[in-house]
Amino acid sequence: MSETDNRHRVIILGSGPAGLTAALYAARANLAPLVLEGNQPGGQLTITTDVENYPGFPDGILGPALMDSMREQAKRFGAKVRFEQVTSVDFSKPLRVVQTDEGTYRGDALIVATGASAMSLGLESEKQLMGYGVSTCATCDGFFFKGKELVVIGGGDSALEEAIYLTKFATKVTVVHRRDALRASKIMQDRAFAHEQVEFIWDSTLREILGSREEKVRGVVLENVKTGEVTEFPCQGVFIAIGHKPNTGFLKGHIDMDAKGYVVAEEPTTRTNIEGVFACGDVIDSSYRQAVTAAGSGCKAAMDAERWLEAQN
Ligand code: NAP
């Protein structure tokens, strides 16, 4: 690859709603952005099934189909999309240098939209049934569990928030926590303890989720960590709420991040502490984490990058 081939006006890292919306806007601004998709093209929505809360789709849309449409829309206006994973960056030079598993790229501006990943327990059954009764997002999937009995794994604010939210749909929600004390804030604990549809199983870990893609979830196998007792617990859905992790390992030491590894943006803009580097979507947001908020944030990043590039001329 020649020096000129690998130079781009805007390079976008990530291909979820934030990255692809940034690509759409940057492409329509004639910046011919390069999108480096990462190892999960389309991002977290590609591991969900129906998306019913993205505006414009009254009958809902499958997550992978929505992301394919976003990619096509960005490409139609000149975005180039490559299935490559960024391994390192160098912001010490006038141009922002990005190293992938296949080559080196230099960008006048860079947009980081690498998202976050819901932490998982690492069980085979959890992986198999993700999107088939197992979820990491109550706001996205709670609606599909009307009249069901659910289990939420975790003991932090997310677990309790999800548990309480899920009672809108489920008849009963049981929070399974590995200790006998919650990590969640006092106010969330009070709310959850007072809720008549929320119950708790303490000192227990999830050993396995029972079910299949055809029949969906029919129960879980729990282990009491104090007694070693293993029991089956019937339920029709499992929400894993043990935290999220921003995908920023490759940025460590190169850009300002908070204690949890989220990139710090100068709100309300998407500027970071590095000139010409912008960040958008879940990689800067531990709070909302919605496709539509990520898309909005991606739009802002492209506009910020465009304005910044114009100011350089
Ligand atoms: P968190 O505070 O890190 O809590 C994660 C929970 O999952 C902990 O209870 C932890 O158990 C448990 N856990 C972690 N790994 C596990 C494993 N392998 N097996 C079983 N359990 C496991 O994460 P979070 O609840 O997502 O919250 C993240 C941040 O966002 C927090 O600062 C939180 O306050 C904030 N937040 C706030 C709100 C709100 O204010 N409404 C809502 C959501 C999140 P241990 O306790 O034993 O470590």
Q: How does pLDDT run across 85-110, given as a tens digit for each residue?
A: 999 999 998 899 999 999 999 999 99
| Residue 253 burial by Cβ neighbours in a 10 Å radius (0-12, 13-18, 19+) | exposed
Residue 2 has pLDDT above 70, yes or no: no
pLDDT in tens, 218-250: 999 999 999 999 999 999 999 999 998 999 999
Q: Which one-letter DSSP state was computed for residue 264?
A: P
Amino acid at the residue 196: E
pLDDT value of residue 180 = 97
**Residue 200 Cα to ligand 1 middle (Å):** 16
pLDDT in tens, 174-211: 999 999 999 999 999 999 999 999 999 999 999 999 99
Answer whether 140's CB lies under 8 Å from 130's CB. no
Q: How far is CA 9 from CA 18, 82, 213, 229, in A?
A: 18, 16, 44, 59
- CA nearest 153: which of 184, 128, 123, 178? 178
Q: What are phi and psi of 259, to 5 degrees?
A: -60, -25
Confidence of residue 5 (pLDDT cuts 50, 70, 90): low
46 or 144, higher pLDDT? 144
pLDDT value of residue 219 = 98
Q: Three-state SS for 246?
A: strand
Residue 63 has pLDDT above 70, yes or no: yes
Asked if residue 172 has its Cβ within 6 Å of ligand 1, the reply is: no
What is the overall mean pLDDT for the chain?
Answer: 95
Q: CA–CA separation, 72 vs 281, rounded Å?
A: 20
Mean pLDDT over 248-255 rounds to 97
Confidence of residue 3 (pLDDT cuts 50, 70, 90): very low
Q: CA–CA separation, 30 vs 60, rounded Å?
A: 32
The tokens describing 73, both together, are: 């829309």
Confidence of residue 46 (pLDDT cuts 50, 70, 90): confident
pLDDT value of residue 51 = 84
Residue 61 has pLDDT above 70, yes or no: yes
Q: Which residues are catalytic?
A: 137, 140-141
Answer whether 308's CB lies under 8 Å from 30's CB. no
Confidence of residue 4 (pLDDT cuts 50, 70, 90): very low
pLDDT value of residue 50 = 76
Answer whether 166's CB lies under 8 Å from 249's CB. no
Pocket mutation for ligand 1, best pick of 161, 166, 176, 178 (most atoms within 8 Å of C-beta): 178
Asked if residue 179 has its Cβ within 6 Å of ligand 1, the reply is: yes
Answer whether 248's CB lies under 8 Å from 283's CB. yes
pLDDT in tens, 276-286: 999 999 999 98
Q: Three-state SS for 104?
A: strand
Mean pLDDT over 59-70 rounds to 95
Q: CA–CA separation, 220 vs 215, rounded Å?
A: 14
Q: CA–CA separation, 200 vs 174, rounded Å?
A: 5
Spell out the domains of the chain, with CATH numbers in brackets: 3-117+244-312 (3.50.50.60), 120-240 (3.50.50.60)
Strand partners, 239: 135, 152
What sign results for the dihedral spanned by CA atoms 85, 35, 260, 245? negative
**Residue 192 Cα to ligand 1 middle (Å):** 15
Q: Pick the atom of ligand 1 nearest to 183's CA.
A: 46
pTM of the complete model: 0.79
pLDDT value of residue 52 = 82
Q: What are phi and psi of 142, to 5 degrees?
A: -55, -40
| Residue 186 burial by Cβ neighbours in a 10 Å radius (0-12, 13-18, 19+) | exposed
